[in-house]
Amino acid sequence: MLDSTKWAFDVGTDWGNAQLEFDTDRPENASLDGQGHLAIVARAEPYQNRLYTSARITTKDRFEPTYGRIEARMQLPWGQGIWPAFWMLGANIDDIGWPACGEIDIMEYRGQEPTKIAGSLHGPGYSGAQPVTQNFQIANDRFDTGFHVFAVEWSADEIRWYVNETLYQTVRPADVPGEWVYNHSFYIILNLAVGGNYVGPPNSSTVFPQTMLVDYVRVYEAAP
């Protein structure tokens, strides 16, 4: 199962984005699939006054890197209102709040758009619906039909976004309309949301359960 020295579950609901699921630590929502992958599963079921369940895992207080290459190999789900994400928050969030802590979205995806992902930054003056962001459209493929590698390479004065080793966005301090808040440690989050501001709610076309398969998450320390 999860390496508890690195990962823990966030248990709860509505993390500030009007999401509809309750995130649990149950094996029904996060477990190994028997083929070496972590399966994060969103289900349509009543639970804790919500109509859906899923899981959200984080390295907060356990593993909080500063700089390097952060990557994951994943197969994404598909369907209206399904919102998987691979992202990072500043480890000082409890002290100074969001967005002052900074947020690095390595991969964010609308389930109704299976050929497109986004990479974004949220910080003071450019957060919520106005991030610094760029889409990546995959050619002749879909993100729900196989595994793809999503990564950032992060240094003191530059963050680069990749899909399958294709560089599609580079952001430097001069490119953000506010403070550059990426010079400290961050923790990693993987989650599969249902509904929310970014994707809207599921509809009659959305099939459940929905599964995000994670082959690996790797962090490479920056060379000195």
3-class DSSP assignment, residue 161? strand
Active-site residue flag, 108:
yes
Active-site residue flag, 153:
no
Q: Yes or no: say if 165 and 152 are a contact pair by the CB < 8 Å rule.
A: no
* Catalytic option among 45, 103, 113, 158: 103
Per DSSP bridges, beta strands 68-75 and 56-58 are unpaired
**Beta-bridge mates of residue 80:** none
* Catalytic option among 108, 158, 165, 179: 108
Closest CA to 144 of 202, 88, 203, 84: 84
Closest CA to 150 of 80, 83, 220, 218: 218
**Residues carrying an active site annotation:** 103, 108
